[in-house]
Amino acid sequence: MANNVQRHFTTSGDPAAPSVSGDTSVASPCGRAAARRCAALPLVLALMGAAAVAAALVAGCDGAAQRFASPAPPDSVTVLFSADNEGVLSSCGCSTSPAGGFARRQTVIDDFRRARRSVVVVDAGDMFHDRPNTIKARYLAMALGRAGYDAVAMGTLDFELGVDQVRSLAREYKLPFICANVRDGSGGLVFPPHVVRQAGKMRVGIFAVIADQAYGSPPREWRKGLRVEPPIDAARREVRDLAGCDLIVALSNQPLEKTRALASGVAGIHVIVSGHDETVLRQPAVVESTMIVGTGAVGRLLGSLTVTRGPEGKPEMQMEMMGLSAKVDEAKWVMGLYWEYVRKAKDEPPPEWNQMAVPDKYQAADACMHCHEAEYRQWETTPHADAYAALKKAGKQDDPECLLCHTMGYGREGGFISMEKTPELGRLTCQACHVVVATHGSKSGADPNAKLDVRSNVNSRLCMSCHGLIESPDFDYITYRPKVVHGSPPPAKAPAQK
């Protein structure tokens, strides 16, 4: 099939999306009323760079409805693919370039379904939050059930939520979770191994596999009580079972090098969607006779494969990669579920709260000003000092996941409650970076230097506990640290001479 894969790549929807070379032809974004005014648009787009094409496509003409699906042959099948949603219904509204999220992805999916006859939607796993959150999981399940995906791989984060809970949600909301290589203690598969969909004149078989080892630092172990079959062994069995399909799609929730090994070791797979890997495949990789595609981390992109039959009846594919930037509207019905989730969960601390350092008492920044006036004045000029205000500006002040990083101690004893009751903790105070104990600086005879060494405590890992890929996709530690650092720390004191 390698010779039957037509290399056609376009980018749409996000001027900041990874550049993709190739054909930049797109459908006119205009409604019929504006068609005459935009008659020259296709010619103009052919002469524009990918970033400009993206802006024109999303913005439309004179406020016309957003359009994303370019023209496709009438007998073609469109496979929309994504991965690594990581629990995001609505993307963070406070970052410099908010992108991704279930709601924006759904807007593009809905447009493809309106514009094309046969659309199959798949996801390569890690749909749920990176730390199990039962309330959020239920609302994500509601959204996923209504969205009508055809197949969703079970990923590491999904297994961390718990097999019993995911199966319960799948039954309640009719969710198409699949996994061909994870078995329970009795030897039975814990999820269906594959699904088959009739899309137009094509029969599409989709199966999923997950890595047979835990990854992360430290490794995130999800296999307790489960037996994981080698992905290649399971994939070979699935290809045999799906041999009657015109198109076989594998969803691979494992590092890219393992996905490449899957493509090399198993004949008969037409395309593999990579998940659980940060690599954006700007152009598909072709290994042996298999195409590998991947949208990278945290669901900021949505991919599209337009599949047609070649002269010998074998699949030919054209790929587009669409960025889900702030220019893409968030689907209203998904946002309705998001705000319902916020109302339900706003008084419940998110599960992350107990995984962060806890001072024995939360204090206002004013308490530090008396001894560290210069540092305090400098801190007042930083965004950290107005963290809650930034959250309110974005309209996310009731979202418990956002409050976790925009206030001090939300959900903990003595921590932030509300701006009416604890306004002094509606800022990222000194304790956000310096784990200072309550006796620090006291005159009670306690060690006045009873705190962690600021030089070892303030590091990239600390900052990225809040400035992650989802919340701050443009965050760069080297660039941003000078904007908040007080200056060089004082030299360490020499130990007292006895």
- The yes-or-no verdict on residue 263 having pLDDT over 60 is yes
| Cα–Cα distance measured from residue 457 to residue 454, given in angstroms and rounded to the nearest whole number | 5
| Cα–Cα distance measured from residue 43 to residue 33, given in angstroms and rounded to the nearest whole number | 19
Residue 460 pLDDT class (50, 70, 90 cuts): confident
Per-residue pLDDT tens for 433-447? Answer: 876 655 666 555 455
CB-neighbour burial class of residue 291 (10 A; exposed 0-12, middle 13-18, buried 19+) = buried
Predicted local distance difference test score (pLDDT) of residue 415: 85
For the ranges 85-94, 439-448, 480-489, the lowest mean pLDDT is seen at 439-448
Residue 51 pLDDT class (50, 70, 90 cuts): very low
- Retrieve residue 18's tokens: 């990874």
Predicted local distance difference test score (pLDDT) of residue 77: 97
Predicted local distance difference test score (pLDDT) of residue 307: 96
Between 356 and 122, name the one with better pLDDT.
Answer: 122
- The yes-or-no verdict on residue 67 having pLDDT over 60 is yes
- The yes-or-no verdict on residue 191 having pLDDT over 90 is yes
- The yes-or-no verdict on residue 69 having pLDDT over 60 is yes
Predicted local distance difference test score (pLDDT) of residue 468: 67
Predicted local distance difference test score (pLDDT) of residue 36: 27
- Retrieve residue 326's tokens: 């702030």
- The yes-or-no verdict on residue 15 having pLDDT over 70 is no
Predicted local distance difference test score (pLDDT) of residue 81: 98
Query: What domains sit in the chain, N to C, each tagged with a CATH number?
Result: 69-335 (3.60.21.10), 348-484 (no CATH)
- Retrieve residue 112's tokens: 């493809």
The answer to whether residues 324 and 302 touch, using CB atoms and an 8 Å cutoff, is yes
Residue 298 pLDDT class (50, 70, 90 cuts): confident
Between 309 and 17, name the one with better pLDDT.
Answer: 309
Cis peptide leading into residue 473 (ω within 30°): no
Mean pLDDT of 415-421: 87
Per-residue pLDDT tens for 151-181? Answer: 999 999 999 999 999 999 999 999 999 999 9
Mean pLDDT of 269-297: 94
Per-residue pLDDT tens for 195-223? Answer: 999 999 999 999 999 999 887 766 778 88
Question: Highest mean pLDDT range out of 2-6, 39-43, 59-63, 109-113?
Answer: 109-113
Predicted local distance difference test score (pLDDT) of residue 104: 94
- The yes-or-no verdict on residue 24 having pLDDT over 60 is no
| Cα–Cα distance measured from residue 316 to residue 334, given in angstroms and rounded to the nearest whole number | 34
pLDDT over 70 for what percent of the chain? 74
Q: Can you give the C-alpha Rg of the chain in angstroms?
A: 25
Mean of the per-residue pLDDT values for the chain? Answer: 79
For the ranges 116-125, 179-188, 397-406, 417-426, the lowest mean pLDDT is seen at 397-406
CA distances from 23 to 42, 313, 321, 470 (A): 12, 24, 12, 30
The dihedrals phi and psi of 323, each to the nearest 5 degrees, come to -85, 140
Predicted local distance difference test score (pLDDT) of residue 474: 72
| Cα–Cα distance measured from residue 342 to residue 364, given in angstroms and rounded to the nearest whole number | 27
- The yes-or-no verdict on residue 74 having pLDDT over 70 is yes
- The yes-or-no verdict on residue 363 having pLDDT over 80 is yes
For the ranges 65-79, 175-189, 439-453, the lowest mean pLDDT is seen at 439-453
Mean pLDDT of 448-476: 64
CA distances from 194 to 127, 189, 209, 241 (A): 17, 11, 10, 9
Ramachandran bin of 347, using left for φ above 0, alpha for ψ from -120 to 50, beta for the remaining angles? alpha
Question: Highest mean pLDDT range out of 69-83, 414-428, 442-456?
Answer: 69-83
